[in-house]
Amino acid sequence: VIGATGEQLAPGAVPPHPVLAPSIAPGVGVGGVTAGVGGVAGVSAADVANIMQNPGFANLVQQALRNQLENQVVAQQLAASQQFQLNGSTAAPLPLLLNPAQTLAPIAIAPEPTVLINGTSITLKKATESAHRQFQSGNYAEAEKTCNIVFQVDPENLPTLLLLSAINFQTKNLEKSMHYSLLAIKVNSQCAEAYSNLGNYYKEKGHLAEALENYKTAVKLKPEFIDAYINLAAALVAGGDLEQAVTAYFTALQINPDLYCVRSDLGNLLKAMGRLEEAKVCYLKAIETQPQFAVAWSNLGCVFNSQGEIWLAIHHFEKAVTLDPNFLDAYVNLGNVLKEARIFDRAVSAYLRALNLAGNHAVVHGNLACVYYEQGLIDLAIDTYKKAIELQPQFPDAYCNLANAYKEKGCIAEAEAMYLKALELCPTHADSQNNLANIKREQGKIDDATRLYLKALEIYPEFAAAHSNLASILQQQGKLQDAILHYKEAIRIAPTFADAYSNMGNTLKEMGDSSAAIACYNRAIQINPAFADAHSNLASIHKDAGNMAEAIQSYSTALKLKPDFPDAFCNLAHCLQIICDWTDYEKRIKKLVAIVEEQVGKKRLPSVHPHHSMLYPLSPATRIAIAAKHASLCFDKVHVQMLGKTPLIHADRFSVQNGQRLRIGYVSSDFGNHPTSHLMQSIPGMHNRENVEVFCYALSVNDGTNFRSKLMAESEHFVDLSAIPCNGKAAEKIAQDGIHILINMNGYTKGARNEIFALRPAPIQVMWLGYPSTSGATFMDYIITDAVTTPLQLACAFTEKLAYMPHTFFIGDHAQMLRHLTEKVVVKDKEATERDSCLIMNTANMDPILAKSEIKEQVLDTEVVSGPKKELLRTEVVLPVLEVPTEPIKQMIMTGQMTMNVMEDMNVQNGLGQSQMHHKAATGEEVPNSVLLTSRAQYQLPDDAIVFCNFNQLYKIDPPTLEMWVKILDNVPKSILWLLRFPYQGEEHIRKFCTERGIESSRIVFSNVAAKEEHVRRGQLADVCLDTPLCNGHTTGMDILWTGTPMVTMPLDSLASRVAASQLCALGVPELVAKSRQEYIKIATRLGNDADHLASMRAKVWMARTTSTLFNVKQYCHDMEDLLKQMWKRYEAGLPVDHITNNTETPFGLCPPT
């Protein structure tokens, strides 16, 4: 992304605007030189005319010529009584050399001398007037010719001497200008105008000390000589004495407050000194004095732009060009600020208007090209940059920006060549150093990029964009605090640098400081409301926080401002997916796929995150490419850190042979209250310590939960890597621990530090459990999976080799964590439905209940199609039955009563109050010690309905899935669909979708998200779980199966879509796995309409929970140890990484279509 001066910013940034040069009023130099075009000061031609028009002047001249006697007193009186306007300033009449010893006596006046001009005899007065007119019209040769004729007649004619000085200054005959100034001083040593003109000569020659001395003499001789004060101010500015220059301007304005040009010049000086408010006052006063003064409007626009008031700046520049349609600088400034505001069409118009006034203005061509670049008109931008270079071949900025355009077009070699050409023309061209650094960074040459950024800052320490870009590299390297320091420096230098605010917001977001990040994004938007990237970044943080309405609004704003904005479009699509807003769904998905495939083809960072890629119909190759790009970023992030360092030393290849245990390292940011820990928290403690040595490396701080405490207590070694933020040092720690196999449990989920794995701290590195897809990384060797989840036909979707667990790669700790749900008490009314899912009691200790004498037995039978009893066709399920009064229970539910006594020694707690009474039990950290009551009435579920449920986040539902569910509801008349408000914004869209297809809204029941224990326990109330084929319930699938609720699924071609099938096969109920959408509907419909079949399947699932391997953590650890040993043996034998399938075949019918 290019800035108008050539700088290029970090990706996603909008370039800052260059400082706008103050405009120059016609006839007024920036430094305040006021006499004529080109800055000649002193007595101007206008002064001469005023002197010549003074009544009595001719008489005085004639008297001097006749008698050479003048009365000094009379002359002084004349001077005091008659004042003349010189260029808007007040000046005394020309002092003449008079003889103070003489007294003026009445004499006869001789005729005024005449001269011959172009064959016509005219008086000296008229000749001088003619010379003045010629000077004013720019005809310096004729003016000088006329003055020379007068000079021949009267060599001491002071007005003529001053005019000759001015003429020669204009024509750059500086020595002659000085000569005539000295002659004027010789004629009258008190002539302030001559000293001022002499000061101009010295200033032009670079002799500031002499210039200052003469200007000061001029104002000393004539304290109200405004021109001299202005010239003095200009010389003081040139000498760096800005405060004294301000004083000189103020003095001139005290003499005449209505000098709006001078006041505007003072504003320019104050603006240059950073005193913007004082400058603003000057410009406003100038406008008050002369509302038609376009220059002041333009200069005021510059101040507003510097203060970040972009819209006020635009208004004032537009006012300036309205007042003066030929005001070139104002059009340029207007174009620049419109470009900064990203109002590109109007910026183009302003630049084209400027080019109508000055077609060969190379800088305007360059700025116009910048706008074309921003509009995506890259070829037009390239042509326009070339035009700028043609007009000004020594134009390094144009070469630099042309390089930017080539880079955008993908012509990297041409871009590098142009940057180098710019540096050839100007080795200190900081923009090109900065932009070349960006190319190096994108090429992965982070050290070269860093060196070039530092070089740019060495050339120009106040280079805000280079600070920002260097900060982005530091952020990429994980040096977040250092990055923040450079962003803050960029903002100090350029307070309206919206990009730096936005990028600093990204860093703060990464640091977990969301509120500070939001403040940065809002400030960036305040500076530039049209800053699409900042709107997108703000949307992202809202999205992460679950504020979907705000996220959607900000993404939509970003797209309105920048329609071709892939990141905003893809993230908006994901937000809409999260809330099930399927407006234009097919069109949206088609566009998203096209965007990602184009980005992958151009080797750019895709706008779809790897973890979201499973939600869209992308090819396996595209999904790998998305992940691989993120993996390469991880590698780049640590590359610089390890420069010059020796590679990490791995554990000895034969260390296990020599008696050492296999050292396993689990790495995760989720060792705490997180679904991953809910699944595997018992694994470290259940590993066979004789065979393996277990290390857990935590990437997150201790959250104080029992989950964390359990992992810390049951791991042989628990290392908190959150205390080692440097990835290099973290990797060194793991290598020092001699880890044989390092297990990545994060993938690309929140909190991951894949950079550690990129440094290869272990000889074998494995993906497992926490991330349902490929890493796309060359530094990951295996992914632990199984034959159902990942048939060999899908190996092409992974960069890792497949390593099969014998049953399923998934595991759940439910038997330990939620053991109170191992058994249940089904409460039924004698007169009501026979369904077993309406009112249930659970407790960890059933003995007091089962010991009651009132217990009776009920026997059910069910089919067995797999598992240890497969040879039997049917098996019996024995259920104890206890008669208790149900009316008190109903009253408890209706009134919200927390506890009650059902019968002697049997206290029951309302399950809805679990989180209120026992926090750690509610979160699953502790097993509840009370009897918990769960009923359909608590969730507004009818007792007489078949309840189909799904407790996944709503983003996993897509239109084809909900179409199937609607068909199932239609096929099962007395059925309802039970979903979660996860998030709540999805409810209205799902209800609308279903009602439009004939399903009454009352048949869709939504419940709020609950704490872990209740979330799982209430699943007992459902009859059947309908899984989401797009992305299955993984942890949620384990949760619902633990309650004994059958789950219907349909595997597709991604790992995330096949986990539920693997769980069901491991559970021994593969008949619940559909091979098509039609079969999915058929399986669910039968379960809904066939009560006996449903009861049989529920009994089967209930029994299989404790008899199959699905929830058997001990068996899982044994199987996993065997698999890890096979990996190590291959490494030990020097064999390459390869699939480890143990000849396990995918069950017939569960292979994806080829």
Cα 1084 off chain centre by: 46
In sequence order, which ranges of 91-157 are alpha helices (DSSP H)?
124-136, 140-153
Contact by Cβ (8 Å): 342, 372: no
Q: How far is CA 916 from CA 921, 969, 1024, in A?
A: 10, 35, 29
Instruction: State the Cα–Cα distance between residues 226 and 486, nearest whole angstrom.
Output: 47
Residue 983, amino acid: P
Q: Per the structure block, which two tokens stand in for 165? A: 């000085």
Q: Which of 611, 639, 678, 1034 is catalytic?
A: 611
Residue 533, amino acid: D
Q: How far is CA 1093 from CA 287, 584, 866, 972, 1073, in A?
A: 90, 40, 17, 14, 16
At what angle are helices 362-374 and 378-391 packed, to 10 degrees?
170
Q: In 3D, which of 795, 651, 679, 649 has the Cα closest to residue 1154?
A: 795
Q: How far is CA 902 from CA 415, 885, 906, 913, 928, in A?
A: 81, 7, 6, 17, 18
Instruction: State the Cα–Cα distance between residues 418 and 179, nearest whole angstrom.
Output: 50
Contact by Cβ (8 Å): 299, 267: yes
Sheet with strand 717-720: strands edge to edge: 717-720, 692-698, 662-668, 741-744, 764-767, 782-785, 801-804
Neighbours of 920 (CB within 10 A): 13
At what angle are helices 620-639 and 727-736 packed, to 10 degrees?
90
Q: Per the structure block, which two tokens stand in for 249? A: 């301007």
Contact by Cβ (8 Å): 551, 575: yes
In sequence order, which ranges of 324-395 are alpha helices (DSSP H)?
328-340, 344-357, 362-374, 378-391
Q: Per the structure block, which two tokens stand in for 572? A: 């908006």
In sequence order, which ranges of 972-1050 are alpha helices (DSSP H)?
986-995, 1012-1017, 1035-1042
577 Cβ contact list (under 8 Å, min separation 6)? 615, 955, 958
Cα 395 off chain centre by: 32
Adjacent-strand bridge partners of 861:
876
Place of tokens 């040459």: 445
Instruction: State the Cα–Cα distance between residues 2 and 16, nearest whole angstrom.
Output: 9
Q: In 3D, which of 144, 126, 127 has the Cα closest to residue 135?
A: 144
Q: How far is CA 391 from CA 394, 398, 453, 552, 1134, in A?
A: 9, 10, 30, 47, 66
* Residue 611: active-site member: yes
Instruction: State the Cα–Cα distance between residues 728 and 650, nearest whole angstrom.
Output: 15
Adjacent-strand bridge partners of 841:
825, 933
Contact by Cβ (8 Å): 528, 502: no
Place of tokens 């390297």: 477
3-state secondary structure 265-322: HHHHHHHHCCCHHHHHHHHHHHHHHCCCCHHHHHHHHHHHHHCCCHHHHHHHHHHHHH
Mapped onto helix, strand or coil, the DSSP state of residue 1098 is helix
Q: Which residues of 100-123 are buried (b: 16+ CB within 10 A; e: fewer)?
A: eeeebeeeeeeeeeebebeeeebb
Q: Which residues are catalytic?
A: 611
